[in-house]
Amino acid sequence: MTTYRIGIDVGGTFTDCVLKRPDGSLLLEKAPTTPLDQSDGVMAGLEQLAAAEDMSLRDLLTGTLTIVHGTTTGDNTMIQMTGAPTGLLVTRGFRDEIEFRRCYKEDIWDPTLPAPEPIARRRVRLEIDERMTAEGEIDTPLDEEGVRKAVARLRAFGVTSIAVAFLHSYLNPRHERRARELILAEYPDVEMVSLSHEVHPKPPEFERTSTTLVNAYVGPPIARYLRRLTERLADNGYAHELLVATSAGGVATADAAARRAVATLGSGPTGGVSAAARHAAAAGLGDVVSVDMGGTSYDLCLIRDGRPDVKMDWNWFQRYCVGIPMVDIPSVGAGGGSIIWQEQGVLHVGPQSAQSTPGPVCYGRGGLEPTITDADLVLGRLDPAGFHGGRMELDVAGARAALADLGGRVGLDAEQVATAAVRLVDAHMTDAIRRVLSLAGADPRRFDLVAFGGMGGVHAATQARALGMKRVLIPRAAAGFSALGLLAADHVIDGSRGYLSPTAQADRGHLAELAADLEGSARAELRIANVPDERVRLEWSLLLVYPGQTFDTSIPVADPCEVEAAVAEFHRRNAEARLIEARAQEPLLRGIRLTAVGEVDRPADPELPESGVVGPVGHRRIWAGERWHDRVPVYAMESLMSGFVIDGPAAIGGTFTTVILAPGDRARPTPTGDLLIEVAG
Partner 1 sequence: MTVQVSSPVDVVTATVIRSAMETICFEMATYVSRTATTPILNQSNERNATILDATGRLAALSVGIPQFMLSSTLPVRFAADFFAGDLHPGDVLIANDPYHGGGHLPDVNVFAPVFDAEGTLVLFASIQCHHGDTGGAMAGGYNVFAKDIWSEGVRYPVLKLVDRGVERKDVVLMMRANNRLPGFIGDLRSQVGAAQLGARRLTEIIEDYGAGTVRAAVEWSIGDATRRFSAEIAAWPDGVYEADVYVDSDPAGNTDIHVHVAITVEGDRLIIDFEGSDTRPHITAWSTFGNTRGNVIAQLASLVDPSIPKNEGFFHCIDLRVPPGCCLNPPEGKPVSSGTHHPGVEVGDAIALAMSQIIPDRCCPQSYKFGSPRQMWGDADPRTGVAFFDHGGEVSAGWVSAAKGTDGWGALSASNGNLIKASAEINEQLFPHILRGRNYLTDSGGPGRWRGGCGSHFVKEVRTPTRVNQYIVNQRHTHPGIAGGHDGTPDRCTVGTVEVSPAVSGVLLQTGERLDYRFGGGGGWGDPLLRDPQAVLDDVWDEYVSVEGARRDYGVVITGSLAEMTLALDLEATEQERKARR
- Give the three-class secondary structure for 177: helix
Complex with partner 1: residue 234 or 439, whichever CB lies closer? 439
Classify residue 614 as exposed, middle or buried by CB count within 10 Å of its CB (0-12, 13-18, 19+).
middle
Q: By C-beta, is 68 or 424 nearer to partner 1?
A: 424
Smallest distance from the beta carbon of 461 to partner 1, in angstroms? 18
Shortest distance, CB of residue 430 to partner 1, whole angstroms? 9
How far is the CA of 381 from the CAs of 273, 294, 341, 466, in angstroms?
A: 26, 15, 21, 19
Report the residue number, 388 or 434, with the smaller CB distance to partner 1: 434
CB of 8 to partner 1, least distance (A): 37
Specify the residue, 32 or 502, whose C-beta has the smaller distance to partner 1. Answer: 502
Q: Are 282 and 448 in contact (CB under 8 A)?
A: no
Shortest Cβ distance from residue 374 to partner 1 (Å)? Answer: 17
496, 202 contact by CB (below 8 A): yes
Q: How far apart are CA 499 and CA 197, in angstroms?
A: 12
Least distance CB 326 / partner 1 (angstroms): 18
**625: Cα separation from own chain's centroid:** 31
Amino acid at 591: G
Helix extents (H) in 245-343: 254-259, 270-282
* Radius of gyration of the CA atoms of the chain, in A: 26
Q: Which of 545/608 has CB closer to partner 1?
A: 545
Contact by Cβ (8 Å): 21, 496? no
Contact 650, 617 (CB under 8 A): no
State in angstroms the smallest separation of the CB of 494 from partner 1. Answer: 21
Spatial distance between the Cα atoms of 544 and 159, rounded to a whole number of angstroms: 38
Minimum Å gap between C-beta 417 and partner 1 is 9
Neighbours of 255 (CB within 10 A): 17
Minimum CB separation of residue 548 from partner 1 in Å reads: 5
Q: What are the C-alpha distances in Å from 166 to residues 177, 204, 524?
A: 10, 11, 27
Q: At what angle do helices 414-439 and 456-467 cross, to 10 degrees?
A: 60
Distance CA(155)–CA(149), nearest Å, equals 10
CA 656 to chain centre: 21
CB nearer to partner 1: pick between 277 and 592:
592
Query: Closest approach of Cβ 588 to partner 1, in Å?
Result: 7
Best CA proximity match to 262, nearest among 96, 86, 133, 397: 86
**Distance between CA atoms of 518 and 492, rounded to whole angstroms?**
13
Amino acid at 394: L
Residue whose CB is less far from partner 1, 75 or 552:
552
N-terminal to C-terminal alpha carbon distance within the chain:
52
Q: Is 202 helix (H, G, I), strand (E, B) or coil?
A: coil
Residue nearer to partner 1 on the CB measure, 153 or 602: 153
Closest CA to 363 of 379, 355, 341: 355
Rounded Cα distance, 134 and 596, in Å: 28
Pick the closer one to partner 1 by CB: 105 or 621. Answer: 105
For residue 400, the minimal CB distance to partner 1 (Å) is 18
Alpha-carbon torsion, ordered 209, 252, 492, 239, to 10 deg: 170
In this structure, the dihedral spanned by the alpha carbons of residues 234, 74, 265 and 590, taken in order and rounded to 10 degrees, is -100
Our CB check for partner 1 shows the closer of 62 and 416 to be: 416
Helices (H), 239-323: 254-259, 270-282
Q: Report the nearest approach of partner 1 to the CB of residue 114 (Å).
A: 5
Pairing of strands 242-245, 192-195: unpaired
Residues comprising the chain, all counted: 681
- Smaller CB separation from partner 1, 128 or 640: 128
Written as one letter, the residue type at 453 is G
CB of 188 to partner 1, least distance (A): 22
Distance CA 457, CA 460 (A): 5
Instruction: CB nearer to partner 1: give 97 or 678.
Output: 97
* Least distance from partner 1 to the Cβ atom of residue 197, Å: 12
The least CB distance from residue 195 to partner 1, in Å, is 16
State the minimum distance, in angstroms, from the CB of residue 673 to partner 1: 35
Smaller CB separation from partner 1, 53 or 129: 129
What long-range pairs does 635-639 form, CB within 8 A, spacing at least 24?
637/476, 637/675, 639/614
Kindly tell me which of 36 and 156 has the beta carbon lying closer to partner 1. 156
CB nearer to partner 1: give 546 or 644. 546
CB atoms < 10 A from the CB of 561, how many?
A: 20
